[in-house]
A = this chain, B = another copy of it.
Amino acid sequence: METMYLVGLGSIAALAFAGIMFTRVRRESPGSEEMKRISDAVSRGAGAYLKRQYRGVGIFFAVVFVILLCMAFAGLLSFFTPFAFLTGGFFSGLSGFIGMRTATMANCRTANAASQSLNRGLRVAFSAGSVMGFTVVGLGLLDLTFWYFLLHFWYTNIQPVATEAELIGNITANMLTFGMGASSMALFARVGGGIFTKAADVGADLVGKVEAGIPEDDPRNPAVIADNVGDNVGDVAGMGADLYESYVGSIVSTSALAVAAGFGMHGIGVPMLLAAMGVLCSIFGTFFVKTKEGASQRNLLTALRTGTYISAILIAVLSFFAVRILLPENIGVYFAVLSGLVAGVAIGALTEYYTSDSYKPTQRLSAASETGSATVIIGGLSLGMLSTVAPVVIVGVSVLLSYFVSGGAQDFNMGLYGVGVSAVGMLSTLGITLATDAYGPIADNAGGIAEMTHMPAEVRQRTDALDSLGNTTAATGKGFAIGSAAITALALIASYIDKVHQIDPNLQMDLSITNPTVLIGLFVGGMLPFLFAALTMDAVGKAAQSIVVEVRRQFREITGLMEGKAEPDYASCVDMCTKSAQKLMMAPALIAVATPIIVGLILGVTGVAGLLAGTTVTGFVLAVMMANAGGAWDNAKKYIESGAHGGKGSDCHKAAVVGDTVGDPFKDTSGPSINILIKLTSMVSIVFAGLIVAVHLL
């Protein structure tokens, strides 16, 4: 109970820090009139997108809310769930909204600050990223605190239960179902945003760069604003909603597992306290992110890394005391925290190794361009596939360690609790990790504005340095997101099975992989990420196609556009991207929600368990592969642009551009969407477990 007050305090600290950062960014000068005008256009476009998205999502939420309410009336759910579903969705969406608003406000300010010095540019972009990071963390903890106290009050005063064990059992069981709202919102944000951003990007490039031969981010390109809007709705709002969900999901499922493991209130305290302390460590870490003028890209990266590493080391030390105080007889749990922290850092570092052009793999990939685009594609795919080995081994070792150090050999449930704690450990410093990540698209947008407003060369150099670094942090951020999603998903699977046991303690579940329902569940689950990737890639293709047509039309019909005498109709491109994204995200979203229910109705709970395991395993591998292949293609192209293999405009460059274009939906749409898929399927399964059990008992 006392730790929950700390969580509340952590929430307040995070939100206050986000507020301070927001004020600091807003106080910066937005620069010239022209810069403001472009920034406003991006901001308006992003606002228009979100408005429409929330309308579409609103309908979805309304329908699901009614379904959940009916299930609650039928006794298949607690009455809290439908409402918690709404709050989860609301807070997840709000995180994305605030992050995106800040980002669109910060882009011109970053460009302007960069005209003063590199360090100022870095500080502004990073501060804006921090708003996102700490809002996500703060709102997540707020949601947890709110529901914890509400449920606690309810089960002690309104509908009192007999024992403390029953009380916390009821609280965690209820809270476990909350993630579905956050998951659904995250899915829409990621898939919709991902389609939007890449459709605009591909559309702008195909007609502007390739056909018309004008540079990237040229203001004459009608899709250029949509491209910038896309960075914000996809990479900022989408990423925020995604990690909101992992964060809350890992904490809640670990709490639920604590009850199953018999750790009681103190077991719940550990993830809560870790989260609260993580906020403070993250805030502390942000003060170390600074650089000096003329810093190389490596220096810049070090600046960002110092912050994250200091936070990680700090939480590693503090969490020892947390475990020591709360679970003195199970000090092994501390090593679960450590293993999660180390795994998160290791996956991030490996992602950088595979996708940064400072290392062999990407350099070799850019050399493949010597023999044409086909070898670039084959090379990138095989690089991506190869890069899955180490993360799988890392996750495997981390899970095994967490399980056994927490006492899994004696008690199965204690081991699973350890796995959950390792996910919380990995995500504990999310505030600063996410800040580093959200920094990327902000710097990217700042570079765009510098380009469009023809700022002096030295400013562009600085924004380019910031932007280029953003590519690396975006790639490591994706590695971290998928790694944490996989471990969170494992905790959720364990919670699911636990939940089924609670619903019907007499139900015999044969979860062996030789049980055909489990096996078929595995097969369907293994296929699901492929289906999901196919649909999202297709969606990008279709949406981009409509942008291509529109941009060509504007080039043809607006006289004086190419000479810079007339302005293109930016809004129509933004509008088309918005419409396409909204329409095309529906099919993948419905499949993600419907599959676990359908599999459950046909194959029962064991089939669902197989499905979840299959989706997590294949989803993890496929997402890592897609993200890393995409990142490597992007940087292989940049490596050539920096002068290797003939430089910009050479045949090698053209071959590398093909790789980059293929990589766009890989790394920014399909890959990240799979993160959410694996968590959402678990969440839906947990919420609908009552229904599935009831149907199969009929």
User: Interface on A for B, CB 8 Å cutoff?
Assistant: 206, 210, 368, 371-375, 377-379, 381-386, 388-389, 392-393, 395-396, 399-400, 403, 408, 412, 415-416, 419, 490, 493-494, 497, 511-514, 516-520, 522-527, 530-531, 533-535, 537-538, 540-541, 545, 548, 609-610, 613-614, 617-618, 620-621, 625, 657-658, 661-662, 665
- Whether B527 pairs with A374 at a CB distance below 8 angstroms is no
Give, as a whole number of angstroms, the nearest-CB distance from A497 to chain B.
6
Which residue, of A368, A494, A516, A525, has the highest number of chain B Cβ atoms within 10 A?
A516
12 A–B pairs (Cβ distance < 8 Å), ordered by A: A372-B658, A373-B373, A374-B662, A378-B537, A383-B534, A385-B534, A386-B530, A392-B523, A408-B516, A494-B514, A513-B610, A526-B618
What residues of B have a CB within 8 angstroms of the CB of A657 in the complex?
Answer: 374
What residues of B have a CB within 8 angstroms of the CB of A371 in the complex?
Answer: 206, 545, 548
Q: If A378-B662, A533-B385 touch, does A516 touch B617 (CB 8 Å cutoff)?
A: no
Closest residue on chain B to residue A532 by CB atoms: B385
> In whole angstroms, how far apart are the Cα atoms of A665 and B379 in the complex?
11
Give, as a whole number of angstroms, the nearest-CB distance from A203 to chain B.
10
- Whether B382 pairs with A613 at a CB distance below 8 angstroms is no
> In whole angstroms, how far apart are the Cα atoms of A122 and B259 in the complex?
70
- Whether B662 pairs with A524 at a CB distance below 8 angstroms is no
Query: Out of B514, B524, B617, B621, which one reaches A497, CB within 8 Å?
Result: B514
What residues of B have a CB within 8 angstroms of the CB of A620 in the complex?
Answer: 523, 526
Give, as a whole number of angstroms, the nearest-CB distance from A275 to chain B.
24
- Whether A516 pairs with B403 at a CB distance below 8 angstroms is yes
- Whether B379 pairs with A531 at a CB distance below 8 angstroms is no
Query: Out of B523, B548, B662, which one reaches A617, CB within 8 Å?
Result: B523
What residues of B have a CB within 8 angstroms of the CB of A514 in the complex?
Answer: 412, 416, 493-494, 497, 511, 609
What residues of B have a CB within 8 angstroms of the CB of A400 in the complex?
Answer: 516-517, 520
- Whether B408 pairs with A621 at a CB distance below 8 angstroms is no
- Whether B373 pairs with A617 at a CB distance below 8 angstroms is no
What residues of B have a CB within 8 angstroms of the CB of A210 in the complex?
Answer: 372
Q: If A511-B513, A513-B513, A541-B379 touch, does A392 touch B526 (CB 8 Å cutoff)?
A: yes
> In whole angstroms, how far apart are the Cα atoms of A391 and B352 in the complex?
36
What residues of B have a CB within 8 angstroms of the CB of A408 in the complex?
Answer: 516
Which residue, of A513, A534, A617, A662, has the highest number of chain B Cβ atoms within 10 A?
A513
Give, as a whole number of angstroms, the nearest-CB distance from A352 to chain B.
19
What residues of B have a CB within 8 angstroms of the CB of A512 in the complex?
Answer: 511-513
- Whether A513 pairs with B378 at a CB distance below 8 angstroms is no
Query: Out of B373, B522, B527, which one reaches A389, CB within 8 Å?
Result: B527
What residues of B have a CB within 8 angstroms of the CB of A609 in the complex?
Answer: 513-514
Per CB-CB distance, the 9 closest pairs between chain A and chain B, nearest first, are A374-B661, A385-B534, A511-B512, A526-B617, A386-B534, A392-B527, A382-B534, A396-B520, A385-B530
> In whole angstroms, how far apart are the Cα atoms of A377 and B533 in the complex?
14
> In whole angstroms, how far apart are the Cα atoms of A517 and B396 in the complex?
9
What residues of B have a CB within 8 angstroms of the CB of A377 in the complex?
Answer: 377, 658, 662
Give, as a whole number of angstroms, the nearest-CB distance from A612 to chain B.
8
Which residue, of A494, A526, A533, A620, has the highest number of chain B Cβ atoms within 10 A?
A526
Give, as a whole number of angstroms, the nearest-CB distance from A665 to chain B.
6
> In whole angstroms, how far apart are the Cα atoms of A416 and B513 in the complex?
12
Give, as a whole number of angstroms, the nearest-CB distance from A195 to chain B.
13
- Whether A621 pairs with B527 at a CB distance below 8 angstroms is yes
What residues of B have a CB within 8 angstroms of the CB of A661 in the complex?
Answer: 372, 374-375, 378
What residues of B have a CB within 8 angstroms of the CB of A527 in the complex?
Answer: 388-389, 392, 621
> In whole angstroms, how far apart are the Cα atoms of A575 and B615 in the complex?
44
> In whole angstroms, how far apart are the Cα atoms of A415 and B517 in the complex?
12
- Whether A388 pairs with B519 at a CB distance below 8 angstroms is no
Closest residue on chain B to residue A520 by CB atoms: B396
Give, as a whole number of angstroms, the nearest-CB distance from A23 to chain B.
43
What residues of B have a CB within 8 angstroms of the CB of A383 in the complex?
Answer: 534
> In whole angstroms, how far apart are the Cα atoms of A531 and B382 in the complex?
8
> In whole angstroms, how far apart are the Cα atoms of A455 and B155 in the complex?
89
What residues of B have a CB within 8 angstroms of the CB of A386 in the complex?
Answer: 530-531, 534-535, 538
> In whole angstroms, how far apart are the Cα atoms of A533 and B490 in the complex?
26
